[in-house]
Structure 1
Amino acid sequence: MTQETKQADLLQEYIQEILSIAEFAKETNANYSHLEELDKLITANEATLNKQFIKVPFTKFRVLDDTGILKPKVPGLLEENKQLVDEYNQLLEKTKTNYDIIKRKERTLGQKMQTLTDYPEIIRVGSAIVESIDNNQI
């Protein structure tokens, strides 16, 4: 295998790695957006749920209502809140995993970059892409 063929193969791997990182970055950014939406839904749901309870004066306690019976909306709100929190936790875990994969791929990319010293333009472009991924701009 000639030096040019080896460099071309390394360049191809480098480009594939950049594309792979960009895909994970897009998915991770979409997950962050969805996490923010879920957080707003959970907050709104909890506010509605809190309105269903009666606050005991001069304490931090709340009761269901004067007769101790659940108001009609409470079971539905509790179930909805449970589902939203479960979805949020699963998505958060997936997002953390994607972020770890991106960091690992960036390290691999850095190692490959060291072998591509004959292609300074590609290194500059790749570095800019990795930097924009770090700044969540992709």
Structure 2
Amino acid sequence: MEYEQILAILDEWIATYEQEFDYLWVQGRMKVLDKSIKDRRVKLDKTFIKIPFTGKRLFDDIGVLPGHKWIPTALMEDAKEVTKYNRLLKEAQALIPDIIKTREAIMPEADQALKAIANLPKEQYDRRLGDRLVKLTSYMNSADEQFKAIQGITNQPKKRSSWWKVGAKR
């Protein structure tokens, strides 16, 4: 395997990791939005006005009642964050097949490149190869850590709060 081929394979492998980092960033952002949405909805659920003996509830969505002035803003924020979450979810779902396909295609070539690097004479090592190997090692280590850190995302589209349905069943 020629030296330039080895560098090209390493570049492709690095690009694969960078694509995975894009996916991890999307997943991390989804996790932040998920927590924000859940926290706000817990707070909103406590402000429903339950109508006795009917199983129905009302919601002060214009902030007329004392202490409820924050509700319209919270409902608008909920709608914005749900929209962002669902957009990020679609983006993440689009990235997954491409990442898997790229990784499966590059792994055999990467193994061959690593064997070829081990067989290279010392005088052929230069800064380009060293930089790529350092970057690749760094990406491999941090990717494992990030995969461990990002857990618990449902990956289900969220729905907006049904606050506009006055008297909806609980």
1:97 aligns with 2:94: yes
Indicate the residue corresponding to 1:14 in structure 2. Answer: 9
| Native 8 Å contact 1:10 1:112 kept in 2 | no
Cα distance in 2, alignment partners of residues 53 and 70 from structure 1? 13
Distance in 2 separating the partners of 1:117 and 1:36: 36
Identity over aligned residues, as a percent?
Answer: 20
Secondary structure of the 1:136 match is helix
Higher mean C-alpha displacement, 32-41 vs 46-55: 46-55
* Cα distance in structure 2, aligned partners of 1:121 and 1:136: 29
Alignment-derived partner of residue 49 in structure 2:
54
Separation in 1, partners of 2:53, 2:5: 70
Moved segments of 4+, more than 6 Å = none
Equivalent residue pairs, number: 127
Q: TM-score, normalised by structure 1?
A: 0.68
Candidates 124, 141, 147, aligned match of 1:136: 147
Deviation at 1:28, TM superposition (A): 1.8
Separation in structure 1 between the aligned mates of residue 20 and residue 93 of structure 2, nearest angstrom: 12
From the two aligned structures, give the one with the greater helix fraction: 1
How much has 1:29 moved relative to structure 2?
1.7
CA distance in 2, matches of 1:9, 1:39: 45
Equivalent position to 2:18, from 6, 23, 34: 23
**Higher RCO, Cα 8 Å, sep 6+:** 2
TM-score normalised to the size of structure 2?
0.57
- The residue aligned with 1:119 is 116
- In the other structure, the counterpart of 1:39 is 34
What amino acid maps onto 2:147 in structure 1?
N
Q: CA deviation at 1:59?
A: 5.7
Q: Distance in 2 between matches of 1:56 and 1:113?
A: 65
Calculate the aligned-residue CA RMSD, in Å. 3.6
**Aligned counterparts of 1:104 and 1:94: Cα–Cα separation in 2:** 16
CA distance in 2: counterparts of 1:26 and 1:60, whole angstroms = 47
Question: What is the rounded CA distance, in whole Å, between the counterparts of 1:26 and 1:89 in structure 2?
Answer: 19
C-alpha contact (below 8 Å) 1:25/1:136 kept by paired residues: no
Comparing 105-114 and 18-27, the one that deviates more: 105-114
The alpha-carbon distance between structure 1 residues 64 and 121, as it changes in their structure 2 partners (threshold 3 A), is same
